Structure 1
């Protein structure tokens, strides 16, 4: 018996700048949250909804694909498309009013002691490895370097022309001290871009331009952290962020990661009242997993109940090779607990040293005050050139070209690694990003010493990193061993094959 679709009407506004497919996604999410669509309900067929909206079937199909990727819908072939029966309860219940906060924007917790750090033996030891890696990753770019975009494909001539035009203009604003919050037109462009591409609705006043991700973390922690605050940290997680956090004196809580992302339930067991959670939901660093919808809602629920902050590092979400880029965690935030962080290092070039953060409206005044006290403004000349780069369409065109280019280059290196290593290395095509982690299988002598392999690779001129050091307790027997490597700068199949053979020789010693 065929199940009829649920009575459900979708409306769109063609006057809005928001693309139609994103409007459709938003209507479905709202209907599910309000209970108008329930788990197991059948939704209109692609052709039927396209006819109703007088739009192309491909537009509806794109919206449905995104909703399936996010976990809201399930496609069951000829049976149709249904609201996922496994939606978490927090998605389907009605929104509640925001809980009361104290003057610091946090519920008071009586009788609670400062939590002890877990997963790191000492701040000095925690910082040592990331600092060494930071030194290794600076300077001249090297093959297979993680996080490095395709420098050979960046439109240097266009960029130089824009910078030169601003420099020759002699505007006094380019010569004066920069605004600590950022160049206003660039903040406006970032706010518009995030609304259209990441589903993040914000005002330019909420956007703060910084000198890189580390500078973003420093601004956030100086503004919102208190002595001995504890921070959930993904395990494994981004090395350089862990090193900086250890330097600040916060208590690091290593929360394990699986194929659904950070384990929120385990985090609450370790420290339910942590002040911050530092996460990479779109493309977990370094494993590449996407935070599941259930975990996203659980994380947001935890932040609301604990009056804590979630720092979302959306570092290379623009590059997704299976379907459209997924909306940011911030797009689901209804209680203003997510601090969104992005960078131009991965989508432009790292030497630009420009990043940004979007803070909740209630924190704008505090963050602005700290930004002014830090006198942390980035050079106005580069910010203005970047604003021009975005305004004139170069940024959107560059992203489109890079998605296609990286989709090709990731296949080149994966095929080359499979041919060179055979069963000794487990390599999976990453669904997004410009780097991935590959795991060693055990050899005749047991577990592979990935730190030694990476050291030999550096001597051979490669810039791969050992996977084990991304874990809080990286030298235990159970810690996965492997390599983290980038693929954006691999020019062709011949180069990929040569690099893979060089890396294979490093395994053999």
Structure 2
């Protein structure tokens, strides 16, 4: 029996699955797979605890669960055995698998972060110690009312903290009542669509542009109208002239997604004038406006809005980490009541503990300091990554100069498909996205989109560049 126990997959102390549950799954798997047969004796709890270096109570908990489910029986001084007559056959497609067991990743064993992965901040530089300290404080401060259903509008302290931050950092004047907390950009965009648009409405989008925007609008049966982008951002006049009657537009003015250019001031003013005259809506997706490296971050388009036509969408995914699943929307004052009504139907409310942690992170100044550190770090990593890739790839690529953002654009000078190259890179464990996949009309030249936030040195970028070269 000792050999059989040793053949079990090792216990994982880092898993969120308790050790006693891991032991339970290993014994259950051994029984259902026929490794342990009916009537066979299993180790005494004391002996197994000593062998595994665990507390006796941990083994007792696992054995109690196995006994309750009928897998084992205690026979007093004769020991504990696999239940006689048990007839459990292993399923070829089990509905449950032991967490942390071989062939089945634990809930913490997610897919690894790949080199150049897009939409990820520098996870190695996140202030986890401060975050965990704030988290512990918020947990200790939790009261009984805090455990009830969360407000669908968002935690008041977080809405207030966001309104204060936007005033200082993005030039947006708003009240906490105008701020709505959502579970991400898609949730934000869907809320806007339900509140202000209807199926069949025409919506202008950037081309090339952020893929989920187009996909969600099309799913909601909107008429998506692509508008070309040049070095000054969306060609506003071309878009409004070619698509009369459009009810809204979705833009990324700070750093156009994915080209990273900024919408020029004349075009910003032209867009606001169009929205005012046509009673249309501007949805400003400010996903990483804080990260500008050639000057101070530009004020948000929303800061120029005098007629209440701009809805400002922000997110914590790019500035904190994606797993937080927290974003926010600022609506014009005249639309607050409408959005409160729609939120009752389409927002479920985000966990208030997470919101409380973020609110504290903001109000104590950690957020502003984190942004400042990341802006400096990203500027350094962007330059180092570009140098390393250029050294490895030479004339095969041309790296575009960008004022900000969290990814590089590598134009391919050779006549080859960026989509095919991306497939080869992904098979080799290197993340990349094809620029042509972001285009609706297919009028974009081949290029690779590579995130640089998690590339920590020029040498690392150069080595990865050599791997890319071998696959070109």
Calculate the TM-score normalised by the size of structure 2: 0.75
1:326-475 equivalence runs, <5 A = 326-441=298-413, 443=414, 447-474=415-442
SS in 2 for 1:433: coil
Matched, 1:258 2:226: no
Structure 2's unaligned 5+ residue stretches are: 1-109
2:153 and 2:111 map into 1 onto residues whose CA distance is 28
Residues 1:383 and 1:292: Cα distance change in structure 2 (over 3 Å): same
| In 1: Cα distance, 2:162 partner to 2:253 partner | 20
2:18 paired residue number:
none
Report if aligned partners of 1:414, 1:429 keep a CA contact under 8 Å in 2.
no
Partner Cα separation in structure 2 for residue 504 and residue 406 of structure 1: 24
User: 2:199, 2:220 within 8 Å by CA — same for their partners in 1?
Assistant: no
- What is the rounded CA distance, in whole Å, between the counterparts of 2:408 and 2:341 in structure 1? 38
Aligned match for 2:126, one of 131, 154, 158? 154
Measure, in 1, the Cα distance between the counterparts of 2:408 and 2:348. 33
Return the alpha-carbon distance in structure 2 between the equivalents of residues 384 and 357 of structure 1.
17
Query: C-alpha displacement at 1:269, in angstroms?
Result: 2.1
Looking at structure 1, the residues matched to 405 and 301 of structure 2 have their Cα atoms a distance apart, in angstroms, of: 17
Partner of 1:28: none
Q: Deviations over 1:15-65 (max 9, x none)?
A: xxxxxxxxxxxxxxxxxxxxxxxxxxxxxxxxxxxxxxxxxxxxxxxxxxx
> Rg: which structure is higher?
2
Contact 1:435/1:487 (8 A) holds in 2: yes
Residue 245 to residue 140, structure 1, CA distance change in 2 (3 Å): farther
Q: Contact 1:468–1:481 (CA<8 Å) still a contact in 2?
A: yes
Match of 2:467 in 1: 502
Question: What is the aligned partner in structure 2 of residue 70 from structure 1?
Answer: none
- The residue number in structure 1 matching 2:264 is 292
Check conservation: 2:436, 2:446, Cα contact below 8 A.
Answer: yes
Aligned to 1:194: 166
Residue 257 of structure 1: SS of its match in structure 2? strand
CA contact (8 A) 2:309 2:332 kept: yes
Quote how far apart the aligned CAs of 1:352 are: 0.3
CA deviations over 1:288-329 (Å, ceiling 9, x no partner): 100001100111111111100000001001111111101000
SS of structure 2 residue aligned to 1:145:
coil
* Aligned partner of residue 262 in structure 2, secondary structure: coil
1:236 paired with 2:208, answer yes
User: In terms of mean alpha carbon deviation, does 284-293 or 155-164 score higher?
Assistant: 155-164
Mapped partners of 2:196, 2:307: distance in 1:
17
Aligned to 2:66: none
Of 443, 450, 454, which aligns to 1:489? 454
**Contact conserved, 1:411 with 1:429, CA < 8 A, in 2?**
no
* Superposed CA RMSD: 1.2
How many Å separate the matches in 2 of 1:140 and 1:378? 26
CA distance in 1, matches of 2:281, 2:295: 30
SS of corresponding position for 2:448: strand
Are residues 411 and 329 of structure 1, via their aligned partners in 2, closer, same or farther at CA, if it must alter by over 3 Å? same
Contact 2:209/2:439 (8 A) holds in 1: yes
Q: Measure the CA separation in 1 of the matches of 2:280 and 2:408.
A: 30
- The TM-score, its normalising length taken from structure 1, stands at 0.70
* Structure-1 separation of matches of 2:139 and 2:304: 41
Aligned counterparts, 1:30-41, within 5 A? none
For 1:139 and 1:473, the matched residues in 2 are separated by 33
Residue deviations 1:252-281 (CA, integer Å, cap 9, x gap): 000000111001111122212211100000
Q: Is it true that 1:214 corresponds to 2:147 in the alignment?
A: no
Shift of 1:366: 0.9
Deviation at 1:139, TM superposition (A): 4.3
Match for residue 246 of structure 1 among 218, 227, 231: 218
- In structure 2, the CA distance between the partners of 1:159 and 1:173, relative to structure 1 (3 Å rule), is farther
Query: After the TM superposition, which segments of 4 or more aligned residues of structure 1 sit over 4 Å from their partners?
Result: none
Checking the alignment, whether the CA contact within 8 Å between 1:454 and 1:465 is kept in structure 2 is: yes
